[in-house]
Amino acid sequence: MFHRKIAVGLLALTLALAPAAHAQATPDELVANATREILALLKEKKAFYEADRKNLYQMVDEKILPYFDFRKMSQWVLGIHWRRATDAQRDQFTEQFRQLLVRTYATALLKYNDQEIIMLPFTGKPDDKIVIVKTEVKQKSGEPNIALYYTFYNLNPGWKAFDLTIEGVSLVANYRKVYASRLQKEDLDALIKYLAELNSKSGDAASKGV
């Protein structure tokens, strides 16, 4: 069940974090204003993206990834293993983790079915260093809405996203738990190799990295 919600959450995050009209946009503006651009691209070119995943990955890379701090996410996911890793291992893990999320987002994009993204009141203040943007995904099936909270930090200027919480469960914490379990049985190089093998596959196979 949580894997399905991760896919929905990643889809919503993908739709939400495309570049907004203003470079200095606040996090809630990023989430609220940018959805239109990605939805327009998806509606116009969905068949094109379905036929050629490389173009879909490129679109995700260009439109979404600049708003993420993958190195910070990777550091938190690995925890103590990050501190023990070499610079080369840190770079390799960050790149493979980044590629995994690109493919996961891309797969979720193709499953988008016009769900409504509901913006909840934003309580962040101009001088905050870390803020949470709260949204919900309205389910067409009549099931309860899925609560999605996006965590940003201020680089002054500019904001970066570094976590997504789906119904109270942190995406970063979930990856950390899964990879910590693997790292009890194998070393970091083996985990990096595992992610690289996932990333060499296309479609849903790569999205199963959690």
Q: What is the tens place of the pLDDT at every residue in 178-205? A: 999 999 999 999 999 999 999 988 555 5
Q: What is the pTM of this model?
A: 0.79
Q: What is the DSSP letter of 159?
A: E
CATH class in words for 2-202:
alpha beta
CA distance 35 to 121: 17
Q: Is the pLDDT of residue 20 over 50?
A: no
- Per the structure block, which two tokens stand in for 165? 């919480």
Is the pLDDT higher at 45 or at 6? 45
Local structure of residue 204 (DSSP, 8 states)? G
Alpha-carbon span 145 to 141, nearest angstrom: 10
Q: How many CB atoms lie within 10 A of CB 178?
A: 13
Instruction: State the pLDDT at residue 46.
Output: 85
What Å distances lie between residue 96 and 37, 72, 103, 135, 149, CA to CA? 27, 14, 11, 28, 24
- Residue 150 pairs with which residues in a beta bridge? 133, 164
